[in-house]
Amino acid sequence: MKKDDFKVHPAVLDLKSDMEKGKVTRREFIRYSSLLGLSAAAAASMAGFPWSGAAWSASVKRGGKLKIAAPVHKVTHPAQFSWIAPSNQLRQIAEYLTYTDGDNVTHPYLLENWTASDDLKTWTLNLRKGVKFNNGDSFTADDVVFTMNQWLDESVGSSMLGMIGDYIDQTGIEKVSDHQVKLHLKRAEIGIPEHLFHYPALVLNHRTFEGDFIKAPHGTGPYLLESYREGEQCVIKRRKDYWKTGADGKNLPYLDETVFIDMGTEMAPMIAAIQSGDIDIIDFSDISATEAYQALKDDKNVNVSPSTTNQTRVLRMRVDLKPWTDNRVRTALKLCQHREKILALAYFGQGVQGQDVHVSPKHPEYCPIDTPKYNPEKAKQLLKEAGYPNGVNVDLAVGSGWKEIVRYAEILKEDAAPAGFKINIKTMPNSQYWEKWTEVALGITTWAHRPIGTMVLNLGYTADEDGKPAAWNETRWVDKEFSELLSRANGTLDIDKRRKIFCKLEKIQQDRGSIGNAFWINVWTITRKRVQGVKAHPSLYLKLDDAWVNA
Amino acid sequence: MAKFILRRFLLMLLTMFLVSIAVFLIVESSPGNVAKNILGAFITPEQEASFLAQSGLDKPILVRYAYWLVGSDWHAAQKINLPLKRLVTEKGFVEWWAVDEEKRLVRWELDGDDLIVNIRRDDGEVVKKKDNDRWRFADDGSARFWGVDRHNHAVLWEKGLDQEVWTFVAGTGWMVASGGPIEYIPLKKGFLRGDPGVSLRTGRPVAKSLMIRLRNSLVLAGIAFVIVMPLALFLGVIAGLKEGSFKDRFLSVTGMTFSVIPEFATGIFLILVMSHWLDLVPGATVFGEQAPWERPDMLILPVLTLTLVELGYVLRITRASMVEVMRSPYIRTAMLKGLPYHKVIFKHALRNALIAPITVIMLHVNWLLGGIVIVEVVFGYPGLGQYLLDSALYKDINALEAGAMIMVLLAVGTQLVADIIYTFLNPRIRYS
Amino acid sequence: MEQARNTETDPAKETPVDENILGFGPGLKHAAGILFSSKTAVAGLFLVLFWVLTALLAPYITQYTPTEQDWKSPNQGPSMEHPLGTDELGRDLWSRLAYGARIVLVVLPVTENFWIPGGTALWGVFASLLIGAGLGLFSGYYGGWIDEIIMRLLDAMMSIPVILLYLIIVAAIGASAVNVVFAIAIVGTPGVARLVRSLTLDIRTRDYVRAAETRGESPIYIMFVEILPNAKGPIIIDAMLRVGYAIFAMGTLGFLGLGLPPPSPDWGSMVAKGREFIMSGSPWAALWPSLAIASLVVGLNLLADGLREELTRYQ
């Protein structure tokens, strides 16, 4: 941080005083100030933490080969990723501008550093110098501008567009010099560095990329793409001139080779294979891992490291369809969730209970709120008041591939019966559920990990300017007071003030919202004991540049 | 005889034709959204439309069936008015090119308002040039052009006065163009000409994936077959020799029991016991680059599962046939004549008893294939079965059709072989 | 799978048609006599009756309902409270097995609240009999080009691997009890049709059919009143085997995620769900329904075998 043009963002100082007053935890301070461009080490020292970076002892071993069970999907344009698994393969070849670690702290990666203007509307990204693509091209601002334009190109159809499209457009990306890019936003946004690590945000080579990464696999990452056979396997080999240096002073990566093998979706063979050592890691980023967790948690050859996440399974009711138009009916169904039981049986107790609010205790803005108790009598009463004295028949759509969701549904069916709900569970393959997830009246949807609470609420519970529910508003629930508070929260940087708004938001969603949510899940990074340096991540991103194996 | 074989052969073709139509119709009429299945749940309607158009799925069903069967290149060549050529690059990618008037390989791209021709030289290098002379203007001022694009489609580009499309051009940035592609024909040679097309799900040529998987499946099936057959015939003969004896009852009931426990349960129980508890053999098949025969230890459990499931069936056919033979007058006569027991069995009974099972077994290769699908899924075996299962779930029509055709070919083909063998073994049969 | 397995026991091949076999009315006593003279048949009958009785009496012989969840004790082995153990939601496995037998053999859950008598497997087989017998009769009785067309279409159907057929059918129309019946029916039809056709070819040369023809009876009358009742023996034996394979098929469909929707305790779905927990050391939930399927199918096979053996001996 010795650069003259680098100054500490004023909000960092406010944060610091909030932390000292005890309004903000140290962890939150580090996380927020790192978003504002303070390096994690500097933030930690301001917070009074001893900073212990990822310092590997010199005992690392070089060489060897890693085998990972992972689906090998069809991939063309990284910005078009809709699954995490392909990003876990290609992120070894291409890289991101930033890196958000398992503690939600964001670090510079292909960026040297960044600064934000006081109003958070102008962001200056300083690029790392001396980084080369694996085809020899230098990494410059042109590549960043090109990549960002790809995200914003509607014909590409990247999910990045939905994430950043409302605060920036292609005219807002300015190349200042070969190693500096400025972003001019339409509104204040603090999440930029985290967004740059969203899984479709791989940086592409503007000279060679023509829409199909597999045909021109030119990235700045630690590995070279050896072969890519969809549905079969993906082989990557060590690159010799990678920009990062390992603990032994030589270029990373430590591994010679990594193979991703597509073993289908059946869990038993993957479990058996990791037990026998035929594979080293199972990539669970897109599949449910409870079965493997159960089978492997006590295995002495396997490390199962949990991460708490903001991932949840949402019992969503469409408020524009009967009987869910009536808040009493919605509340009645929510009261039928025996949360302790659901968490214990559906997810083996591996998570925390939810409170019918789409803000997780792990979100920085989270305001503690009571967990509703299982109360079928009250639910019955509410149903009666709503005009269903003899109970009501409802269909519940679930994807049969998510075993924990099927169990959630079965438990709910049983426990809601005394209140008068007759639930018919409609199972379908997951792919069919995704076809109609926004259409069904009652269903259970998986929601991925998002580091900040406003991100989810903006996506799922708002309307556009015309009052039409947003694309991902699967329940069509739009509440005037809620929307106003939310837009206020979006523009509030002060964590403490933000949290006060969230207390109200959460109360509204719990009282008259459209979702039940019984639990927030843990995920597991499952590796053989010999694998070192693969860190647990709540989105199960695999970072293999400094992974190594004990022979 | 020749007439009979010819007749059966024609019937086989007819069957394959009917099956291909049936699969097409069923997949067509089933609900489900291919685009969402493949691109993920969160695509926009525009992306969906563009995906459907680029995959040729917006065409009428008859056209799609015709393209699948006999290819689309001839049709596209008519529109483009140039012959088309399919080549495989050094890296193994399939590319389609048009052959222009000067016998050069060409294809086009649109850059803003400009049509750019890519000319492939003999050394594989590509030269780009503006090629706006090819536009054909219509009376309303719009211009159209049919050509080959860089993604193996025949494309109709259009530019007109009233259209405005934003396109991003590498190196230049955003540009307003007044045109774009409005119709696509994905280029393929068609099933009859040995090109079943590209898998919608994986984007790989179906034939490429299918061959490796077919090989893997045949290895698995072959080993299982070699083990099951002699064992089942042997045990079946033993059971059938003395109908109703303890041996008979024990063998047939045990065989039957194993054959009716669902394969997926047998498979997982075997993994639990043999791999998890006893740690004797690997419980999964992970081949990576290797071929199945390079890791024979991994084949043990899948083969054992198949053996348990299939053994009972063959055993019972053999037994039934043996019982019948033992009851027949000529065996009784032979016994009465005082011939030694083993002589009667080996010289007379066995030969006749084995005709039926051997031919019946040949008739049911498709049933063996059914068992293999499940076993492959349970063990993560990279075979044809898993490929078909995934294809069916994703409505990947090209892959599904090709897989179904192979299965039908195997099933009907072996039936044909069985019939021929049977004719030789049993000349009493008359064919009309 | 069933089409293949049935060839082995294709009753038309081994059993000459006897109009009294398994007939009702005057033939009933006779049939019972045949049945009890075969030890195999009696053993089979015992197994089948065990499950039929369990299904009928399920509410009286179980302590719990099939959906009652004891959430403190999921995935337990056998114990005093739960003789066969519990599943992943703490439901009693014996209760689920007994009620599962009901779904297979006694009732068809059309929707959650509307049940009709006759098990899912039975309806599936019944439907394939209905369609198959119709096609077989027409084909066999008329012969000629009708026969040719019907048989070629059925040949085509038979050469599609069954698993593929299941997948396509159920993936296309979704998972429900009625659709499972539909899938079983479609897969079973060609086999039944072939059998009935071969029986028809045989019977139509009989004197009484000739007599009816000279009386001027309509073809429909001849097919359904003269021919079909006289072919029922082998058809019934064939149907018994088909019920067994229909149960097996329900398991396969459950495995593919296309079986009956939860919390249905049908055996196929039980195995399919229970298999998730085998690797984590709780094999019970998958073991019992696997054995149940096996024992019922073996029972049906033994019964059919025994009957056939006795019939051949009787002649």
Is A182 inside any structural domain? no
Contacts of B281-284 with CB under 8 Å at 24 or more apart are B282/A272, B282/A273, B282/A276, B282/A278, B283/A268, B283/A269, B283/A271, B283/A272, B283/A273, B283/A275, B283/A276, B283/B379, B284/A263, B284/A268, B284/A269, B284/A270, B284/A271, B284/A272, B284/A273, B284/A276, B284/A278, B284/B379, B284/B380
Asked whether A525 and A307 are in contact (CB, 8 A), the reply is yes
Residue B296, burial from CB neighbour count under 10 angstroms (0-12, 13-18, 19+): exposed
Question: Phi and psi of A441, rounded to 5°?
Answer: -70, -45
> Domain of A328: which CATH number?
3.10.105.10
Residue A255 has pLDDT above 80, yes or no: yes
Is A312 inside any structural domain? yes
pLDDT tens column, C108-162:
877 766 778 878 888 999 999 999 999 999 998 888 888 888 888 887 777 777 7
Residue A394 has pLDDT above 60, yes or no: yes
Mean pLDDT in residue range A511-539 = 91
Q: How far is it, in rounded angstroms, from Cα A213 to Cα A75? A: 8
Residues of chain C whose beta carbon is less than 8 angstroms from a beta carbon of chain A are: 67-69, 71, 74, 88-90, 111-113, 171, 174-175, 257-258, 261-263, 275-281
Per the CB < 8 Å rule, is B272 touching C172?
no
Per the CB < 8 Å rule, is C262 touching A424?
no
Restricting to C residues 153-172, those with a Cβ less than 8 Å away from any Cβ of B are: 153, 155-157, 159-164, 167-169, 171-172
Residue C20 has pLDDT above 60, yes or no: no
Most confident option among A189-193, A306-310, B346-350: A306-310
Q: Is C7 on the interface with B (CB under 8 A)?
A: yes
Q: What is the pLDDT of residue B222?
A: 85
pLDDT tens column, B241-279:
877 788 888 888 888 888 877 787 788 788 888 877 888
Mean pLDDT in residue range B202-214 = 81
Model confidence at B174, pLDDT cuts 50, 70, 90, reads very low
Q: Is C243 or B344 the better-scoring residue by pLDDT?
A: C243
Whether the upstream peptide bond of residue B357 has omega within 30° of 0, thus cis, is: no
Q: Where are the beta strands (DSSP E) in C10-134?
A: 107-111, 114-117
pLDDT tens column, B281-291:
877 777 766 67
**Which of A340-349, A535-544, B21-30 comes out lowest in average pLDDT?**
B21-30
Q: What is the pLDDT of residue A302?
A: 92
- C252: nearest CB among B29, B269, B374: B374
Asked whether B177 and B113 are in contact (CB, 8 A), the reply is yes
Mean pLDDT in residue range A12-23 = 80
Is A443 inside any structural domain? yes
Is A13 inside any structural domain? yes
Asked whether A93 and A215 are in contact (CB, 8 A), the reply is no
Contacts of B428 (CB under 8 A, 6+ apart): none
DSSP states of B122-134 = TTS-EEEEE-GGG
Residues of A in contact with B298 (CB under 8 A): 278
Per the CB < 8 Å rule, is A276 touching B271?
no
pLDDT, mean over chain A: 87
Model confidence at B237, pLDDT cuts 50, 70, 90, reads confident
Contacting partners of chain B (3+ CB pairs under 8 A) = A, C
Residue A56 has pLDDT above 80, yes or no: no
Mean pLDDT in residue range C8-20 = 42
Nearest-CA distance from A177 to chain B in Å?
Answer: 16
Q: What is the pLDDT of residue C8?
A: 38
Contacting partners of chain C (3+ CB pairs under 8 A) = A, B
pLDDT, mean over chain C: 80
Model confidence at A443, pLDDT cuts 50, 70, 90, reads very high
Residue of B nearest to A277 (CA): B282
Per the CB < 8 Å rule, is A435 touching B41?
yes
Q: Is A264 on the interface with B (CB under 8 A)?
A: yes
Model confidence at A22, pLDDT cuts 50, 70, 90, reads confident
Model confidence at C3, pLDDT cuts 50, 70, 90, reads very low
Q: What is the pLDDT of residue C129?
A: 92
The 3-state secondary structure of A211-279 reads CCCCCCCCCCCCEEEEEEECCCEEEEEECCCCCCECCCCCECCCCCEEEEECCCCCHHHHHHHHHHCCC
A516 forms bridges with which residues in the sheet? Answer: A315
- B286: nearest CB among A146, A170, A263: A263
Residue ranges making up the domain that contains A25: 1-53
Asked whether C132 and C189 are in contact (CB, 8 A), the reply is yes
Is A494 inside any structural domain? yes
Q: What is the pLDDT of residue A316?
A: 94
Q: How far is it, in rounded angstroms, from Cα A209 to Cα A220? A: 13
Q: Is A267 on the interface with B (CB under 8 A)?
A: no
Q: What is the pLDDT of residue C9?
A: 40
Residue of B nearest to C273 (CA): B265
Torsion, CA B20, CA B23, CA B25, CA B29, rounded to 10: -170
pLDDT tens column, B7-54:
778 877 888 888 888 888 877 776 667 777 666 666 667 667 777 887
- The structural domain count of chain A equals 2
Model confidence at A131, pLDDT cuts 50, 70, 90, reads very high
Model confidence at B430, pLDDT cuts 50, 70, 90, reads very low
Is A475 inside any structural domain? yes
**Which of A443-457, A523-537, B322-336 comes out lowest in average pLDDT?**
B322-336
Per the CB < 8 Å rule, is C164 touching B392?
yes
Per-residue CA distances from B142 to A339, B81, B137, B139 (Å): 63, 20, 6, 7
Mean pLDDT in residue range A3-9 = 59
Per the CB < 8 Å rule, is B166 touching A270?
no
Per the CB < 8 Å rule, is C263 touching A413?
yes
Q: What is the pLDDT of residue A94?
A: 95
Residue A245 corresponds to which amino acid? T
Asked whether A312 and A347 are in contact (CB, 8 A), the reply is no
Strands A65-69 and A281-282: parallel
Q: Where are the beta strands (DSSP E) in A60-100?
A: 65-69, 98-100
- A261: nearest CB among B31, B32, B288: B288
Model confidence at B168, pLDDT cuts 50, 70, 90, reads very low
Asked whether B252 and B243 are in contact (CB, 8 A), the reply is no
Q: What is the pLDDT of residue A194?
A: 87
Residue from C313, C305, C233 nearest C6 by CA = C305
Residue A54 has pLDDT above 60, yes or no: no
Q: What is the pLDDT of residue A95?
A: 95
Residue B359 has pLDDT above 70, yes or no: no
Residues of B in contact with A149 (CB under 8 A): 168, 173-174
Per-residue CA distances from C314 to A330, B432, C15, C308 (Å): 69, 35, 11, 10
pLDDT tens column, A357-374:
999 998 888 999 999 999
Q: Which domains does chain B have, with CATH numbers?
A: 76-187 (no CATH), 207-425 (1.10.3720.10)
Token pair of B92 as six digits: 């193994």
Q: How far is it, in rounded angstroms, from Cα A392 to Cα A386? A: 11
- A431: nearest CB among B91, B377, B393: B393
Residue from C70, C96, C279 to probe the interface with A (highest A Cβ count within 10 Å): C279
Residues of C in contact with A401 (CB under 8 A): 257
Residue from C229, C222, C224, C245 nearest C128 by CA = C245
- C168: nearest CB among B15, B23, B316: B23
Asked whether A321 and A481 are in contact (CB, 8 A), the reply is no
pLDDT tens column, C215-263:
888 888 888 888 888 887 788 878 887 888 888 888 788 777 777 888 8
Per the CB < 8 Å rule, is B373 touching C161?
yes
Mean pLDDT in residue range A52-69 = 75
Is A162 inside any structural domain? no
Calculate what percentage of chain C has a pLDDT beyond 90: 15
Match 């525009």 to its residue by tokens: B46
Q: How far is it, in rounded angstroms, from Cα B6 to Cα B10? A: 6
Residue C304 has pLDDT above 50, yes or no: yes
Nearest-CA distance from B115 to chain A in Å?
Answer: 17
| Global confidence as pTM | 0.83
Residues of B in contact with C286 (CB under 8 A): 265, 268-269
Residue B101, burial from CB neighbour count under 10 angstroms (0-12, 13-18, 19+): exposed
